[in-house]
Structure 1
Amino acid sequence: MNSQQTIVIKIGTSSLTQAETGQLALSTIAALVETLTQLRQCGHRVVLVSSGAVGVGCGRLNLKERPKKIALKQAIAAVGQGRLIRVYDDLFSTLGQPIAQVLLTRRELIERTCYVNVYNTFDALLELGVIPIVNENDTVAIEELKFGDNDTLSALVASLIKADWLFILTDVDRLYSADPRFVPDAKPIILVNKAEFAQLQVQAGDKGSQWGTGGMMTKLAAARIATSAGVRTVITHGKYPHNLFKILQGENIGTQFEPQPKSDNARKRWIAYGLLPTGKLYLDSGAVRAICQGGKSLLAAGITKIEGQFEATEAVQLCDGNGKEIARGIVNYNREEIDKIKGHRSDEIAQLLGYEGVETVIHRDNLVVSNG
């Protein structure tokens, strides 16, 4: 185990609460706090992404099920978040470990200046030896800019801070080829590399527990984001936090996903993982080759079809003829302008638009090729 690593741990509502009542599972939380404090004492930089605010709020207000209406859910999150952070603070304080509360919305990662500020805040907290406890700011997040679940949030945080590990703690010990509760001969999945990820066939439900939001599909999506950013990802059981040490020491516990090579280009990481694409550009095979193999900019001539409504400087996905995403980037033109110039040479742009424009639709400095 390396002397100092940056580790993000995400724990879900299903691990934090009792299934029957939604009340906090204090023994699990105490074991988690003890483990994270020990990791800090070993010199690691530790971030906890914790679900549970809505679940705890429901328990506090004696509600029997998670609310559906956004306004009600946001109000309940406000009730639960204070209680949740109080529990964490009491337990961490007993062990002398300082913590900080960090509440994020997707907006903070979309705006470049905010993204850099969030990175700097995490960096300062970790240098101070603090454990940041992160959750989505459910009280103010609007539906279009929600992370959707804390699995995604944890992967984006791991990417942002250039973590070495992401541990997704859930209510199963690892990934299986089918649900082991119903299929006795379901095969455990120990290690997934890049080549296997695309072929990974897992019967993963899209719903979490009664009190949570993330099913196994969201965990796989999070693993894809994190490993693409160079973060080794592990799905393992939340009831046994002490296993984190064993995994770091090389034991085969949980399901591990091998990371891609890390990128040191902070701007490109932001484009790949911070921005929310608002449209799609479909490319011919020549443009796909030029971008994926030649590291070239995207020219109008290579665009065959457009989807979505977007403005200049917004992010879009670039797809091949089969609809597979091959890259994403920031466009120099809006949807209407690209519609006029697609399929044409760059020296025709001024004539087609009626004014002088740049020759690239997406410059290579604002373009990130997908790993998947």
Structure 2
Amino acid sequence: MENIRQNIITRAKKILIKVGSAVLTGDDGLDLKIIDSLVLEMANLAKKGYAVVLVTSGAIVSGKHRLKITENLKSIPEKQAAAAIGQGRLMRVYSKAFEKNGIYVAQILLTLSDLTDRQRYLNIRNTLSTLMAWGTIPIINENDTVAVDEIKFGDNDNLAAMIANIIEADLFINLTSIDGLYTCNPASSKKSKLISVVSEFSEEIEAAATEETSSSGTGGMKSKVQAAKKVTAIGIPCIIAPGKKKNILTDIMTGREIGTLFLPMTDRLNSKKYWIAFTLRPRGKLVIDDGAKKALLEEGKSLLPSGIIDIEG
């Protein structure tokens, strides 16, 4: 398996890194030591010629800490207000840390509607391509201040998977608070074992991914596995790894066996089909006949009007 990892790392030139709130925060709000450590590693990757894009959480937690709020925020207006306060501080911390290492950053805040609109989607892709060509590291977060259920990604794992598709990443690294995907929840079972490599999304893999989340985050292991499933469908390998571990990115990029590696599928979706399948939300339903079903599923053909029986929505 080391050879597989090494081959993946050797081919990776464009890397999407997602860092969750549980990694970025400690008892006193943002964990500046962790952020400085991760930033140093990302800056070193950029200096070696890698294109790096960062999807980060942490705005709401940062805002709560600034206001000295200790209890969980329940209402949407409270979370949005905390995000408005915290996002600026979060970016200031990142910007200062990256500039100390000679790297400039760019902030991009998105809602789902930005990606479901094809023209805006393409504009975002072009902007990201330009920023990477300039050697700048784009820092992306959901625009929590304006996002409501209808235009939310759900969590930043889902957002990161979409961004990985947009930039056509060679590798998606999802940094979390635990070592990777376990056979069962390690917090409740001593028999739990770390799964090193996932080559297919079997029932056992789906069952191993729990929905439990930390107090600071919105996505549990289930959302991380779902994100891995989405990116591997278009040929992007994914590694879920412990974000608080020292030199974690360096270890990953030297091919060390760490975390859980999700191997890419052999049958890849192209970028536009991925956009249709995983970014757009259903607005209606087409009822098709058996011939159209066979053409789509078995022959890889397009849907013709003659195969449509009914339209709903």
Give the TM-score of the pair, scaled to structure 2.
Answer: 0.90
What secondary structure is seen at the aligned counterpart in 2 of 1:183?
coil
- Listed as ranges, the matches of 1:339-350 within 5 Å are none
CA positional deviation for 1:281: 4.0
Q: 1:42 to 1:264 in 2, by over 3 A?
A: farther
- What is the one-letter code of the residue matched to 2:21? T
- Is the 1:122–1:161 contact (alpha carbons within 8 Å) kept by the matching residues of 2? yes
1:260 aligns with 2:265: yes
Letter paired with 2:184: A
Q: 1:13 pairs with 5, 15, 21, which one?
A: 21
Of residues 89, 97, 109, the one that matches 2:95 is 89
Residue 208 in structure 1 maps to residue 228 in structure 2: no
SS of 2:53's partner is strand
Q: Which has the larger radius of gyration?
A: 1
Q: Which residue of 2 aligns with 1:152?
A: 158
- Residue of structure 2 in register with 1:46 after alignment: 52
> Counterparts of 2:206 and 2:55 in 1: how far apart (Å)?
27
What is the deviation of 1:159?
Answer: 0.8
Any gaps of 5 or more consecutive residues in structure 1? 307-333, 337-372
Find 1:111's aligned residue among 89, 94, 117: 117
Match for residue 249 of structure 1? 254
Deviations 1:153-177 (A, max 9, x none): 0010001110011111111011111
Q: Do the aligned residues in 2 keep the contact of 1:3 with 1:43 (CA within 8 Å)?
A: no
Partner of 2:301: 296
Q: Using the alignment, how far apart are the partners of 2:12 and 2:174 within structure 1?
A: 20
Per-residue CA deviation, residues 265-292 of structure 1 (Å, 9 max, x unaligned), is: 5433332333222244455554332102
After TM superposition, give the deviation of residue 231 of structure 1 in Å.
Answer: 1.1
Q: Distance in 1 between matches of 2:93 and 2:12?
A: 27
121-130 vs 256-265, which deviates more? Answer: 256-265
AA aligned to 1:218 is S
Q: Which moved more, 1:208-217 or 1:124-133?
A: 208-217
CA distance, structure 1, for counterparts of residue 172 and residue 267 of structure 2:
14
Q: Secondary structure at the match of 2:107?
A: strand
Structure 1 residue 143, shift from structure 2 partner: 1.5
RMSD in angstroms over aligned alpha carbons? Answer: 2.2
Number of equivalences: 305
From 35, 39, 63, the equivalent of 2:41 is: 35
Q: Structure 1 counterpart of 2:95, which letter?
A: D
Shift of 1:75: 1.1
Question: Which of 335, 345, 360 is the equivalent residue of 2:312?
Answer: 335
SS of equivalent to 2:82: helix
CA distance in 1, matches of 2:290, 2:202: 24
Tell whether 2:82 aligns with 1:76: yes
Cα deviation, residue 228, structure 1: 1.0
CA drift of 1:72 comes to: 1.6
**Range that drifts further, 168-177 or 198-207:** 198-207
Does 2:182 align with 1:137? no
1:355 aligns with none
For normalisation by structure 1, the TM-score amounts to 0.77
CA distance in 1, matches of 2:250, 2:284: 42
Which region of structure 1 is more displaced relative to structure 2, 238-247 or 124-133? Answer: 238-247
1:52-73 per-residue CA deviation (whole Å, 9 max, x = no partner) reads: 0001111111111231211221
Which region of structure 1 is more displaced relative to structure 2, 157-166 or 290-299?
A: 290-299
Percentage of matched positions with identical amino acids: 43
Contact 2:43 2:103 in 1 (8 A): yes
**Residues 180 and 113 of structure 1: CA distance in aligned 2, closer, same or farther (over 3 Å):** same
Q: Residue type matched to 1:335 in 2? A: E
In 2: Cα distance, 1:265 partner to 1:186 partner: 36
Assess, with a 3 A threshold, how the Cα gap between structure 1 residues 280 and 44 changes in structure 2: closer, same or farther.
same
Rounded to whole Å, the distance in 2 between the matches of 1:204 and 1:265 is: 27
Q: Residues 7 and 26 of structure 1: is their aligned pair in 2 closer, same or farther, counting only changes over 3 Å?
A: same
SS of equivalent to 2:73: coil
Distance 1:7 1:208 in 2: 25
Cα distance in 1 for partners of 2:101, 2:157 equals 27
Identify, as 1 or 2, the structure richer in helix. Answer: 2
